[in-house]
Amino acid sequence: MTTADDPFLAVPEGARHRALAELSAKGPVHRMRLATGADAWVVTGHAEAKAVLTDPRVVRSGASHMPFGDEMPPELLRALSFNLLTTDPPDHTRLRRLVSAAFTRRRVEGLTPRIEAICADLLDGLEARLAADGEADLITAFAGPLPITVICELLGVPAASHADVRAWAGPLLAGRFAGYEAFSHAAEEIVELVRGLAAEKRRAPADDLLSALVTVDGDRLSEDELTSMVYLLLIAGHETTVNLIANGVNVLFAHPDQLALLRAEPERLPAAVEEILRFDSPTQVTIPAITAEPVEVAGQLIPAGENVVVALLAVNRDPSRFDEAGVFDVGREVAGHLAFGHGIHHCLGAPLARLEARIALGGLLERFGDLEPADGTLERLPSLLINRLAVLPVRRAVPA
């Protein structure tokens, strides 16, 4: 398969799922060249994905995680490269222990009132924009600012820097599609911000996660681990939720019967969020790993030193795991999706993403009973990692 055929680069709405379904029909594991230029084994089967994600011979250390890693200054690369997604035990175990206290179910649920307040303010702004302009981009007006505000406040990033973080997230997530200059500039800026904030928190700790990370007694994060971890939480930590909200609204628009059911029975929201995660996963693939020794997957021997990624969009629609896998059903009882990964690298922020999605979708359904997609052709951003709509224009339906 050539780069031109790479399903992760397809931009027309629905094209990625169609391409991955065709690929999956040929088997659960495939060797292909990715948009990054690297050759990799792409796993599309659900059972095979779970096996790979829990196999200690498939490791993160040594894999190529950072775009332009060979071109970036070594000190900048180190400042971004030591986080939960790019390390293995025992380093991973220590890093996860140091940050896991911030993401317990109890602490996350305690954020509910603040998330609801942020959501209400953004919905007010969306309503005003719709009244003034007739339509609005739901991602710019709502799905984007909600999770970046939540994660910035959780970490202790001042409000004056929220817009900067949102701006840097674009090229950092686009990677090679953004070009070296844009990517490296955003990387330098976010590292400078984190180091400055860490110095302030050491002098005057506050009630936020960054203060907890820099003032912990005993085992501490190194400077590079600290910047890498905060980088991960700020960028990847909010992007999943942006896409979860936007993809969820989009798929509900495309399935009016399910939207009507959810409006009539809002208690189905938790199950609906799980089905959105399965049906149109916010991320396309797991962070690349590498085989430390030969590994057999579905009868295919993958040699040592090979890149491996799990195609989440395909895995979560594997018909051998999900009945009527291509059908969107908010009443589906069995989740079992891998949208947040699996094994030791299962997303630490998954409870927060779920909570934000429930509040966001619930708020939209309650406030806007007449919201509908505006005219226009939907496209996805070209990316290996993220499954994001470029825009999601919405409007209020005109009464018949």
pLDDT at residue 350 tops 60 = yes
Start-to-end CA span in the chain (Å): 50
pLDDT at residue 267 tops 90 = yes
For residue 166, give every residue at least 6 positions away whose Cβ sits within 8 Å of its Cβ, in sequence order, or none. Answer: 144, 145, 148
Whole-Å CA distances, 114 to 179, 189, 241, 355, 395: 37, 28, 16, 12, 27
For residue 87, give every residue at least 6 positions away whose Cβ sits within 8 Å of its Cβ, in sequence order, or none. Answer: 60, 61, 95
pTM: 0.94
146 burial via Cβ count (<10 Å: 0-12, 13-18, 19+): buried
pLDDT at residue 8 tops 60 = yes
Which tens digits make up the pLDDT trace of 239-248?
999 999 999 9
Amino acid (1-letter code) at residue 164:
D
Tell me the CATH number of domain 3-368+378-391, given options 3.40.50.880, 3.40.50.300, 1.10.3660.10, 1.10.630.10: 1.10.630.10
Which tens digits make up the pLDDT trace of 149-174?
999 999 999 999 999 999 999 898 88
Q: Per-residue DSSP letters for 74-129?
A: HHHHHTTS-SGGG--TTHHHHHHHHHHGGG-HHHHHTTHHHHHHHHHHHHHHHHHH
Neighbour tally for 371: CB within 10 Å = 20
The token pair at 161 is 């820097």
Distance, CA of 225 to CA of 82 (rounded, Å): 5
Q: How many Cα neighbours within 13 Å face the side chain of 361? A: 33
